[in-house]
Amino acid sequence: MPVYERGYTHWQPSGRRARPAWLVIARRGIVEPLRRRWLFLLILAAWVPAIFKGGIIYAKLKAGNILDLMGGGWTSIEPEGFLRFLEGQRFFVFVLLAITGAGLIATDRRENGMSLYFSRPLGLVDYIGGKALTVVFFYCLVTLLPVCALCVFAYLISPGAVGAELLLGTPLRALVYCLLAGTSTSLVLLAFSSLGTRSIFVMVWWTLLVTGTDAVGGIAEGLLHKGGIQVVNFLGQYHNAASLLFASPRRLAGVSPWVSLAVVTAWTALALWVLRRRIRPVEVVS
């Protein structure tokens, strides 16, 4: 049938390739939270410890190593010092991931978004990958980026700094750790999100997992004097396993870093199994 509408124009190919589906999903998941002003304030607050540590590193040039007595290993520019810094970011990781990741799948389930997603040429890997990349981005925003910024700053102001370690070794360790830990925690959080349809309930489950296991492990260790109880500490397992990468002493007393690595692997495998069971591509028949 001919088209007589005056505004009609024939479709002209642009010659540009379409963006990957996972990248489109991740871009939308990243941009929308960043439009909230209070989220920017939270991210800035997460950078305060990095600014404080940078100030201590600068002050050490004037006061010597006496400041190490005040800040402990946290102020060190050795790999262990940066691992301690990553441990200190635990609260911001917990809060920021709860805000940005709790509703990524729960909202789609509540608003029947699955049928819209999978009515297009979109696979399960693209869908989960795009959602996980959103969480990993915010995870690295308060962990990896501050570490890299501190490494560059310490190298520029500290004449005795080892350039190869600060500019290559430590950032590379942090990159590997943050990508692996961020991917694992994002899958666990997305698994929780796929189990519900309300973000508030997902946040409650996430809170119980992170803060609940931390409290249970600490209380049990204090009462029973058995460090092995800390194996239930969710985020603590990631930091304890990271001691292998950062060549530092174990972070949890009584728990081997290899055991923590096995626990982290089990959490990741369980999260993938849950996601595979809860997210089922639908077939739209016209």
* This prediction's pTM: 0.85
**pLDDT at residue number 1:** 44
Let me know: does 246 contact 82? Beta carbons within 8 Å. yes
Which residues does 268 contact at the CB level (< 8 Å), separation at least 6?
183, 184, 187, 188
What proportion of the chain, given as a percentage, has pLDDT over 90?
38
Q: Is 183 exposed, middle or buried (0-12, 13-18, 19+ CB in 10 A)?
A: middle
2 three-state secondary structure: coil
Residue 154 has pLDDT above 60, yes or no: yes
Q: What is the largest CA-CA distance in the chain?
A: 85
For 184-208, give the DSSP string.
HHHHHHHHHHHT-S-HHHHHHHHHI
In this structure, how many other beta carbons lie within 10 angstroms of the beta carbon of residue 243? 19
Residue 158 has pLDDT above 50, yes or no: yes
Model confidence pLDDT, tens digit, residues 272-285: 999 998 887 654 44
Let me know: does 101 contact 136? Beta carbons within 8 Å. no
Let me know how many helices (H) and strands (E) the chain has, helices first.
16, 0
Mean pLDDT of the region 202-230: 79
Model confidence pLDDT, tens digit, residues 19-46: 788 888 889 889 988 888 889 899 999 9
Let me know: does 162 contact 151? Beta carbons within 8 Å. no
Average per-residue pLDDT for the chain: 83
Which residues does 158 contact at the CB level (< 8 Å), separation at least 6?
57, 60, 61, 77
Model confidence pLDDT, tens digit, residues 60-72: 766 655 455 455 5
Mean pLDDT of the region 176-204: 92
What span, in angstroms and rounded, lies between the C-alpha atoms of 284 and 122? 13
SS (H, E, C) 4-22: CCCCCCCCCCCCCCCCCHH
Nearest Cα residue to 186 out of 78, 58, 30, 66: 30
Model confidence pLDDT, tens digit, residues 83-101: 999 998 999 999 999 999 9
Which residues does 126 contact at the CB level (< 8 Å), separation at least 6?
20, 21, 22, 25
